[in-house]
Structure 1
Amino acid sequence: MTVELPVKKLSDYSVFSKEDVEAIFELGKELKGLKVVHVNATAYGGGVAELLMTIVPLMRDAGLDASWEVLEAPMEFFNVTKKLHNTLQGADIEISEEEWELFERVNEQNARLLNLDADVVIIHDPQPAYIPYYRPDSNTKYIWRCHIDTSTPNLKVWNRLTSKMTKYQKALFHILEYVRPPFDKIAVEFPPSIDPLSPKNRELLEEELKIIAERFKINTSKPLITVVARFDPWKDLFSAIDVYRKVKERHDVQLAIVSAMAKDDPEGWIFFEDVLRYAGVDEDILFLTDLKGVGHLEVNAIQRLSTLGLHTATREGFGLVISEMMWKEHPVVARPVGGVKIQIDDGVNGYLRTSVEELSDAICDLLENKEKLSEFGKRAKEKVRRTYLSTAHVRRYLEVIKSVVK
């Protein structure tokens, strides 16, 4: 399925990073008319879909013939790929022969169904990873974009999955510690980005913030700790609740758990119920999800209404929600995992801590020192502006595409 895309203009982003925009236009002259197709699992829910909704239109504005295709697959397929996702992050889960056959069959079908006649095809994550294997030999160049933490995968699954991933010219990982054979010779460190002009990140008026605070019963007179995460065991939302409870012993605070239920994550519903039960009845724990009408604009407002961010994931591919919160001038207290480590500079624009006690102490330190809270927030925004905005991301893509086709 081809995804319909909005029109976006690179010139609108010059106010944030003029240097990156100028570099993109120069690269666009060299790559003008090149046909590039991105392929992923879903058009909504999750960070990859959000990224592509900005990246592909900006590639078009740079002069490329860019498009976005989404897999056509039954729910049973996503049950299997969720297992794949977990095993690539280290889970000891068995994938049956029947499940492998379904995975391969859906990839083979999509290799025929999707519009993939292009100079460069960029495959995102494991769900469509076998599509190049089932495409006839051609001049198409393939790039694999991995958005998850593969530093310590289940090797049985990793070796089987990658055995048919032989047609890729480049493999892009958030950080180099995720790279493993057979991609060590073609790997590129490639962090993602946030769109500063999207509904999720644009500036908001005070009136907009007030309306959303009232709608979701956010008490603006006391500190708000916000976690934005999918309902996924790796996000360890139980620890987030434990941290909140420890902080609550010293400060009158609220906790917002903000999430969306992604189409390609059926087990998320089960975990959602588990977390709800663990939270119990506490009017200061707010579950703010798309089930209550929380969309991108609402996430933006909730983050701006926050005092600081909390991220308790035990494994994390990158964690764009960290950059989103930092962009709103709020520090984040998080566990030092995956791509989180390169976003937060410990003791400079946030804190990296591991245990519930350490995380709660770090939050209390910021709540008790308003000047430090403000200074950390300013540094956090500047770090994102320099490194993790859409323009820097598009520039990196065009540089990799150029290296592949030239």
Structure 2
Amino acid sequence: MGDRGGRRMSVSKEVHHDFQAHRSQYHRTRAANVKLPDRIDIGTSISEFWAGLAIERESDRCLKIGIAIHDGTYGIDFSVQRLSLEEEEEHIKNGNCDWVADHVIAELDRYRQEHVCKILGAGVIAELDGESPTLCSRLWSELDVVPMVVTANPVLRSEKGKDLPQRVDETADSAARKCLALYAPTKQPRLSISFQNEVQVDLGGLIHLTTLEDYQNSVRAPTWRAAQKYIKDVVDRKLRIVFFSATPQGGGVALMRHALLRFLRLQGVDVEWFVPKPRPDVFRITKTNHNILQGVVPPDVRATDEQLGKIKEWIVDNAERYWVRDSGPLSAPQDGGADVIMIDDPQMPELIPIAKRIAPDRPIIFRSHIEVRDDLVLDEGSAAQHVWRNMWSSIQHADVFLSHPVRSFVPPDVRKESLGWLPATTDWLDGLNKHMAEWDLRYYLHVLRQVCQSQNLPQLAYPDRGYFTQVARFDPSKGIPDVIKSYARFREMVKDRPQDQVQQLVICGHGSIDDPDATLIYDQTMSLILEKYPDLVDDIVVVRLGPSDQILNAIMSLCTVAFQLSTREGFEVKVSEALHKASIGKPIIATLAGGIPLQVEDGKSGYLVSRGDHESVAKHLYDLVTDKDLYNRMSEYARTHVSDEEHTVGNALSWMYMASKVAGGKLLKPNERWINDMARDEAGEPYKDGEPHLPRHLST
């Protein structure tokens, strides 16, 4: 059942109560030919369940495992089994309880396949989490089940005062119900925002997706050692670190922040993340400002002083209402406030002067994660100059200015000594990137087909046909028209091929609450296809998806080639995600826009093309689908040459280095250096020949 200390552990199993529910014979017959959910007829429902997992220890070598299954309304099935460990007691004392995880994983995997169902989440009682420290992370990584650690009630309360001890199956059922209560109608765990608008990452720590060992195994040794040096310093000094950004979910900053706090809190770092109360009218203004700074709006579009004033009013109101009170994040450090403040959003620079008035010596780090075209900012009287000057009046008071590593993104107002490079990152262990079993990948494609059916969209024919994809927000800078035009040109090049040998196209993405352009861009995309390429209507799937990271993961994991044909871009993590795919890296065709050339090695991990060069995109597609050796060579290179600095651990290294340096009145002057390089060098772990890292010469 498991191998610990070089010896085989023997576990005997005694079934006290097995699962009793049976799948409809009709349903089982329809699914029998291919036992993967995406080959089941679209109209066939795949049941979605929740599980509860409990433990009852009878002795050092013997315990009972209870597993309950809940359909969202009521408990429908359960099992109870006694496990006896026939091995030396020292293995239990040493914490080697993976045999418990082995059993639970095997039972749930068997159940989902026999019942053609998907288990979405599992309530794991705290005692079981303590007995089997790897169970939660394995539920997430192996079965794509979201594990929530909940407390168990030891007794059943009676109104007549006669309490009854709770059996292990009853405890498991209670755990399933507690887990279910934390799910939203979208069948995703609820987003939790607590007092003072603090984002409660992973439901305040109830969700256990990863272990520290998982993170250590996801990066190279020098990165890990350097990160641990600064994390230890921050923890030992008991520094309070606070992040601010505009939205808690949906955008790239939110994705990075969830991942960063998840990792840091595993190690005891006192780190928090606050967001303002959302205001849709303000988000319309901030999105327009974003587009103005990127130069993707008509020249007559400007932000008025009244509109810019609304943004400041919104931020000041949130600060005064939630964050400046005693022990609030903006209060002075001696009053319990943050020791270091990180503002990771160009929508919130007004917080900088507020924080400086309260504690002038407290360090503030500002990160600009958007493209600010310096040529437009320098154009006297331009809309971009007007927006930038308004922002700069507050940003100039920050101690450090961080930017994507592209010099043209930084206006000349920014002082060279305060400027450091810090690219966006992703997380190899989260729902967007983790390796998923074939069963789970096919389940999410089945969900995609049902979404398409409900919206009367074309159907994806995978696995009978391959497909290309661009996963991105529906945004005017993402180059979606270029994706469609390039695909149309590719189809002309393969017009003599049978249709079942020609790839389809999937364009999809999530939305963000501060992104009001998405509906407009979606409608423009559909109009382009219907009016210009009616012959391709049935082979282009354009869909806005709900808040499931795993469905985007599945789409990217199973595609043939990924696109990122942005016309304007900062540092696109979807490029890193495509290249890194665990089983086989995905060759990517991307534009020479913003920070993308830092991520793609042209001709090795993918291809870089000029904006609007549809002919080159089509040619590269043709080469990749007709030359198997080229495709395999490029895929393998892509998978093995992604830098640690594009992952959460590398990101944490940079943030913790900065916090360690600036706290206590120390100065940090990057002078246009990469923060990652500074952190590695000072930790005594500089990059060595052969270790992948992003190219440095393109940053200026």
CA contact under 8 A between 1:236 and 1:312: conserved in structure 2?
yes
**Pairs within 5 Å for 1:89-128:** 89-90=294-295, 91=297, 92=299, 93-112=301-320, 113-114=322-323, 115-116=328-329, 117-128=337-348
Equivalent residue, structure 1, for 2:292: 87
Q: Establish whether residue 131 from structure 1 lines up as the match of residue 351 from structure 2.
A: yes
Determine if contact 1:247/1:253 at 8 Å carries over to the other structure.
Answer: no
Q: Distance in 2 between matches of 1:161 and 1:74?
A: 19
Could you tell me the TM-score, scaled by structure 1's length? 0.95
DSSP-derived class of the 1:288 partner: strand
Q: Which residue of 2 aligns with 1:27?
A: 230
- Structure 2 vs 1, CA of residues 253 and 13 (structure 1 numbering), >3 Å: closer, same or farther? same
**What whole-Å deviation, never above 9, does each CA across 1:260-317 have from its counterpart, x for those lacking one?**
1210011221111111221226121112322xx4620000000011001111110001
Give 1:7-406 correspondences, 5 Å limit: 7=205, 9-17=211-219, 18-32=221-235, 33-90=238-295, 91=297, 92=299, 93-112=301-320, 113-114=322-323, 115-116=328-329, 117-135=337-355, 136-138=357-359, 139-152=361-374, 153=377, 154-177=384-407, 178-183=409-414, 184-215=416-447, 216=449, 217-218=459-460, 219-251=462-494, 252-280=502-530, 282-290=537-545, 293=546, 295-328=548-581, 329-354=585-610, 355-405=613-663, 406=666
SS of equivalent residue, structure 1 residue 77: helix
Contact 1:169–1:186 under 8 Å retained in 2 = yes
Kindly tell me the number of residue pairs found equivalent between the two proteins. Answer: 404
- Counterpart-to-counterpart distance in 1, 2:489 and 2:279: 43
Distance, in Å, in 1 between the alignment partners of 2:662 and 2:373 is 25
Does 2:207 align with 1:2? no
CA deviation after TM superposition for structure 1 residue 133, in Å: 1.5
Measured after TM superposition, the shift of residue 227 of structure 1 is 0.3
Matched residue type, 2:539: D
Structure 1 residue identity aligned to 2:427: D
Partners of 2:289 and 2:387 within 8 A in 1: yes
Contact 2:283 2:515 in 1 (8 A): yes
Cα distance, 1:71 vs structure 2:
1.4
**Greater Rg over alpha carbons, structure:** 2
Cα-to-partner distance string for 1:307-332 (whole Å, 9 max, x where unaligned): 01111110001111111111111011
CA contact (8 A) 2:373 2:411 kept: yes
Displacement of 1:9: 4.0
Q: Deviations over 1:322-343 (max 9, x none)?
A: 1111111101101111111100
User: Secondary structure of 1:129's match?
Assistant: coil
SS at match of 1:249: helix
Q: Could you give the per-residue CA deviations for residues 221-243 of structure 1, whole angstroms, max 9, x where no partner exists?
A: 32311101111111121111111
1:165, CA displacement in angstroms?
A: 1.7
The alpha carbon displacement at 1:26 in A equals 1.4
Give the distance between the partners of 2:648 and 2:632, measured in 1 at CA.
Answer: 25
Question: Does the 8 Å CA contact 2:471/2:507 hold for their aligned counterparts?
Answer: yes
Deviation of 1:386 after TM superposition, in Å, equals 3.8
CA contact (8 A) 1:231 1:259 kept: yes
Q: Following TM superposition, by how much is the alpha carbon of 1:140 offset from its aligned partner in structure 2, in angstroms?
A: 2.6
> How many angstroms does 1:206 deviate by?
1.1
Kindly indicate whether the alpha-carbon contact (under 8 Å) linking 1:88 and 1:149 is maintained by their aligned counterparts in 2.
yes
Aligned-pair identity (%): 26
Q: After TM superposition, give the deviation of residue 259 of structure 1 in Å.
A: 0.9
User: Aligned in 2, Cα 1:383/1:242: closer, same or farther, shift over 3 Å?
Assistant: same
Structure 1 residues 185, 176: CA separation in 2 closer, same or farther (over 3 Å shift)? Answer: farther
* 1:385 positional shift: 4.6
Q: Is the 8 A contact 1:170 1:404 kept in 2?
A: no
Is 197-206 or 82-91 further displaced after alignment?
A: 82-91
Secondary structure at 1:128 match in 2: coil
Q: Name the CA distance, whole Å, in 2 between partners of 1:163 and 1:403.
A: 26
Q: CA offset at residue 360 of structure 1?
A: 1.3
- 1:8-51 CA deviation, whole Å, 9 max, x = no partner? 54332111213322222211121112111111111111111111
- Whole-Å Cα distance in 2 between the matches of residues 223 and 370 of structure 1? 14
* CA deviation after TM superposition for structure 1 residue 164, in Å: 2.1
Q: Which one-letter code corresponds to 2:410 in the other structure?
A: V
* 1:257 aligned counterpart, secondary structure: strand
Query: 1:197: Cα distance to partner?
Result: 0.8
Detail structure 1 runs of 4+ shifted over 6 Å in the superposition.
Answer: none
Gaps of 5+ in 1: none
**More moved, 82-91 vs 320-329:** 82-91
Instruction: Please report how far the alpha carbon of residue 96 of structure 1 lies from its aligned counterpart in structure 2 after TM superposition.
Output: 0.7
Alignment partners' CA distance in 1, 2:302 and 2:373 = 19
Is the 2:444–2:550 Cα contact (8 Å) retained in structure 1? no
Rounded to whole Å, the distance in 2 between the matches of 1:124 and 1:300 is 25
**For the residues of structure 1 that align with 2:291 and 2:354, how far apart are their CA atoms?**
25
Q: Distance in 2 between matches of 1:294 and 1:368?
A: 35
Gaps in structure 2 of 5+ consecutive residues: 1-196, 330-336, 378-383, 450-458, 495-501, 667-700
**Bigger CA drift: 256-265 or 3-12?**
3-12
Contact 1:176 1:188 survives alignment (8 Å)? no
Which range is displaced more, 26-35 or 309-318? Answer: 26-35
> 2:395 is paired with a residue of what secondary structure?
coil
Q: Secondary structure at the match of 1:394?
A: helix
In the aligned structure 1, how far is the partner of 2:413 from the partner of 2:661?
19
Do 1:322 and 1:332's aligned partners in 2 also have CA atoms closer than 8 Å? yes
Matches of 1:60 and 1:371, distance apart in 2: 44
Amino acid at match of 1:277: S
TM-score by length of 2: 0.56
Provide the rounded CA distance (Å) in 2 between the counterparts of 1:377 and 1:179.
Answer: 34
